[in-house]
Amino acid sequence: MKAYFGRRYMLSASHRLHCDSLSPEQNRAAYGKCNNPHGHGHNYVIEVLVGGLVLPGTGMVIDLVELDAVVGAQVLDRFDHANLNLDPLFESEVPTTENFCREVFSLVSNHLPAGKLEYVRVEETENNFFECNNM
């Protein structure tokens, strides 16, 4: 029996959208307020959905405690109350929420103890969110 288990987490981080290969004018045109040199921050909501067979012994797709440990170690400890631009992952990549979402997907997917990561959704604000899946 295949089912999915989902969990929502929150982290607060700052970022600045700026691309070194663009001129200052082009950066301002592309990113607007998000190009502010001093950065700005968000309360990001990270939603993960794990698919897999419901294990007969536990009735679970994945143990919540194990999922929390992976997301905690790989994502929350790394990015919560941090400046995304200073993380090595964003040395040569703009920390848009699209790119952040893709990086979170890789970090969680590579360390998942059970099941398969179906998607990661990152909500940047209540009105903007991004999803990344394996396709």
Partner 1 sequence: MIFLTRRATFSASHYYWNPEWTEEKNHAVFGRCANRNGHGHNYTLEVTLAGKPDPVTGFVVDLKWLKDVIEREVLSVYDHRHLNLETPEFKSEIPTTENIAIAAWRRLEPAIADAGGAKLSRIRIYETPEIFAEYRGES
| Active centre residues (catalytic) | 34, 81, 124
Q: In the chain, how many H helices and how many E strands?
A: 4, 5
Query: Does the protein bind partner 1 through residue 29 (CB under 8 A)?
Result: no
Binding mask 54-93 for partner 1 (x = CB under 8 A): x--xxxxx-xxx----------------------------
Q: Are 52 and 116 in contact (CB under 8 A)?
A: yes
Residue 118 in tokens: 């179906």
Query: Does the protein bind partner 1 through residue 1 (CB under 8 A)?
Result: yes
Say how far apart CA 105 and CA 10 lie, in whole Å: 15
Query: Does the protein bind partner 1 through residue 5 (CB under 8 A)?
Result: yes
Query: Does the protein bind partner 1 through residue 28 (CB under 8 A)?
Result: no
Nearer to partner 1, 10 or 29 (CB): 10
